[in-house]
Amino acid sequence: MKNRRGLIRIILPWLLVLLMLSSLMSVFRNQGATSQLTYSGFVSTIKEETVTEVELSPKAYVVEVTGEYTASKEGKETKTTFKTLVPNTDQEIDSLMQLLEDRDIKITVHNSENDNLVLSFLMQIIPYAILIGLMFFVFRNLNGAGGNAKAFEFGNSRAKLEKDEKTRFTDVAGADEEKEELTELVAFLKNPKRFADMGAKIPRGVLLVGPPGTGKTLLARAVAGEANVPFYSISGSEFVEMFVGVGAGRVRDMFKNAKENAPCIIFIDEIDAVGRQRGSGIGGGHDEREQTLNQLLVEMDGFSGNEGIIILAATNRADVLDPALLRPGRFDRQIMVSNPDKKARAEILRVHARNKRFAPDVNFDNVAQRTPGFSGAELANVLNEAALLAVRMNHQVITLEDVDEAIDRVIGGPAKKSRQYTEHERTLVAYHESGHAIIGLTLEHANQVQKVTIVPRGNAGGYNLMTPKEETYFQTKTQLMATVTGYMGGRVAEEVFFGDVSSGAHNDIEQATRIARMMVTELGMSDLGPIKYDSGENAVFLGRDYSQINNTHSGQIAFEIDQQVRKIIDTCYDQATDIITENKDKLEIIAKALLEHETLNREQIQSLYENGVMPEKYDGTKPHIDQPPYQRPNPIDMDEDLLDEMK
């Protein structure tokens, strides 16, 4: 639809020009209209009207006679041009000359043979010239607009060249180790002789692997910006077309252009679109994709070599790439770009907060604590949503409530305040969510509640953000048991206070059962011992391992696994019941506050638990004047010579 509109915008002006030209030609024809007379009419005109001069144009078989006479009509004189044809014979010519001499009319003889030849030639050539010119301009405009009509550039590279990249390492926060690995590339691009003297070869290719939004593209741009070299960027899907051989041609053209601008960086985003394993899958491979991959392999490590060209690639699935692509000599180095931890999230938030104003109660360390598992892109989206909410609410600064609401929007979407619940349902949801909060506040290793709300979002009637007290790489059995106990808190609170249970604990039961089964079948945290009973990999990728996914244990073991899962769930359920029974008064305080305010954050829940009252609320009118200005992070610790080169 977009291309069609662009084509209409290009062709429509030319159609209007042609219409205007045709209108002008018709006007000129009307203004210069000539009256065609018969010979008898010509004789009558000569005798009756005032004719002073005629022009004779002899041709092969006739003589063209043209002239002009003046006629009076209603007191006005009008000039009329006439034309007639006389046979080119001696008798007719003599008769014509005698008539003109009798009327004393001046005779002019004009040889039009040469003029007719030129005019005839021009009249035949001009239409074709106009048509060719129109087609030339249309195709040129289509190509300049970047449409799909690039018929003559179909095999050219689609890589975009950027020669003045502004991104620097200081714009990338929370990825110190990743930046340290990429610093060598910057030093090589700025001073390759130093590495050559030592006999070292810089990696030809670096593969950035990690979840979406973790900053892989940003890191690649930072490398190009620090080294101040040309930066080619392209997506893996832009190589592959319907026609076999086009992708390979684009790869050749891309490397040809890169050699002309070496040293430079080629960044291929989502390389798994073209670099997947060859010959895998139930339906076979794709010839075009495999030929493109083969050409990419040859260009990266072929006979000619590509000195001065460093290839950076990004993917979310390194396990699906072809082994030939990952071997040394092509992608020598893989850098894992994972989701940031708490400290890294706080740094990322400070980077994105440089141009925003925040209230005094906004603590980025606390915000980082409330956003476990968030990527850098999601954190940037959180602060942007918070700024939009502050403008919508006419706040002078971004308050803590704006940030909390922004986190909820990123996780579950906007609140559905129009959805109506009965008073009993609201009370049930409030006590359910308060049960989770009490477990987190009381049990040592349980997840803490960062945010509780009874405002529905998505398909959930309430929302409870629970995060671990400390982010660790490993989890002990005690921590996992405490997590399951926290999930049971809402169900237990319903049973203790209402003597009934609802379907609101559906997701809690699902998550608790998943953790308990994982403890038994994969982690060996049960009476069955340290034995792995389940592969845990039930996803089929392109038909690979399709027949190998099956359970190898007996029916008796399956029964015992179910028994152990039930034992873990029952133990955690009993523990949650004891905790909630002992803290019924505090749970009621939190539940009543939820019914009144609908949403509570961590500070408010902590104050209700310890003091029984809500903390003072910031009014959102005074800017935060004591907040220190943002400080750029220190450079990465590295060799002093490398630091000098970076500066």
pLDDT digits (tens, 9 = 90+) for 81-111: 888 888 878 777 778 788 878 777 777 777 6
CA atoms within 13 A on the CB side of 532: 5
pLDDT at position 625 over 50? no
161: phi then psi, degrees, rounded to nearest 5: -100, 130
pLDDT band at 72 (very low <50, low <70, confident <90, very high): low
pLDDT tens, position by position, 123-170: 667 766 776 776 676 666 655 544 444 444 555 666 777 766 778 888
CA distance 504 to 413: 19
CB 552 within 8 A of CB 532: no
**CB-neighbour burial class of residue 221 (10 A; exposed 0-12, middle 13-18, buried 19+):** buried
Highest mean pLDDT range out of 7-16, 261-270, 423-432, 609-618? 423-432
55 assigned to active site: no
**Active-site choice (288, 405, 433, 645):** 433
Q: How many CA atoms does the CB half-sphere of 137 hold within 13 Å?
A: 12
Identity of residue 10: I
Return d(Cα 301, Cα 295) in angstroms, integer.
Answer: 10
Burial (CB < 10 A; 0-12, 13-18, 19+), residue 153, is exposed
Helix (H) or strand (E) holding 144: helix 113-144
430: CB partners within 8 A, 6+ apart? 454, 462, 591, 592, 594, 595
Other beta carbons within 10 Å of 566: 12
Predicted local distance difference test score (pLDDT) of residue 570? 94
Identify the pLDDT of residue 473.
73
Q: What b/e sequence results for 391-420 when a residue is b if at least 16 CB atoms lie within 10 Å of its CB, and e otherwise? A: eeeebebbbbbbbbbbbbbbbbeebeeeee
Q: What is the pLDDT of residues 217-248, one digit of tens each?
A: 888 888 888 878 788 888 777 777 656 667 77
Q: Is the distance from CB of 347 to CB of 633 less than 8 angstroms?
A: yes
What is the C-alpha to C-alpha distance for residues 64 and 383, in angstroms, rounded to an integer?
87
What pLDDT shows up at residue 155?
54
Q: What is the mean pLDDT of residues 176-191?
A: 81
**Which are the contacts of 240, defined by CB distance < 8 A and separation ≥ 6?**
247, 273, 274, 286, 288, 289, 292
| Confidence (pLDDT) at 226 | 82
- pLDDT for res 566: 94
At residue 289 the predicted structure's pLDDT band, cuts being 50, 70 and 90, is confident
Segment of 59-63, 186-190, 278-282, 551-555 carrying the highest mean pLDDT? 186-190
Is residue 421 within 8 A of residue 393, CB to CB? The reply is: no
Cα–Cα separations (whole angstroms), residue 441 to 42, 321, 431, 608, 636: 117, 46, 15, 11, 39
Pick from 600, 608, 534, 596: which is nearest to 564 by CA?
Answer: 534
Nearest to 171 by CA among 209, 210, 226: 226
Concatenate the DSSP letters of all residues of 73-136 into one string.
Answer: ETTEEEEEEEEEEEE-SHHHHHHHHHHHHHTT-EEEE---HHHHHHHHHHHHHHHHHHHHHHHH
pLDDT of residue 617: 60
Q: pLDDT at position 96, please?
A: 79
Give the Cβ contact number of residue 100 at 10 Å: 19
Instruction: Please give the structure tokens belonging to residue 543.
Output: 């038909």
Q: DSSP class of residue 472?
A: -
Q: Which residue has the higher pLDDT, 10 or 309?
A: 309
- DSSP, collapsed to helix, strand or coil, labels residue 613 as coil
**3-class secondary structure, 611:** helix
Identify the pLDDT of residue 281. Answer: 52
Contact 103, 48 (CB under 8 A): no
| 258 — pLDDT class (breaks 50, 70, 90) | confident
Residue type, 606: Q
HEC readout, 271-313 = HHHCCECCCCCCCCCCHHHHHHHHHHHHHHCCCCCCCCEEEEE
Q: Chain-wide mean pLDDT for the chain?
A: 76
Opening angle at CA 590, ends 587 and 592, nearest 5:
105
Confidence label for 549 from pLDDT (cuts 50, 70 and 90): very low
What is the DSSP code (8-state) at residue 51? Answer: E
Predicted local confidence at residue 34, as pLDDT: 62
Confidence band (pLDDT; 50, 70, 90) for 551?
A: low
HSE-up of 89 (CA within 13 Å, CB side)? 4
Whether 421 contacts 461, CB under 8 Å: yes
CA pair distance 606, 608, nearest whole angstrom: 5
pLDDT at 302: 61
Tell whether pTM > 0.75.
no
Looking at per-residue pLDDT, the higher value among 166 and 122 belongs to: 166
At 68, give phi and psi (nearest 5°). -145, 135
629, pLDDT greater than 50: no
Is the N-terminal amide bond of 263 cis, ω within 30° of 0? Answer: yes
pLDDT band at residue 272 using 50, 70 and 90 as cut-offs: confident
> Which residues are paired to 58 by β-bridges?
63
In one-letter notation, the amino acid at residue 456 is: P
Instruction: Output 37 or 480, whichever has higher pLDDT.
Output: 480
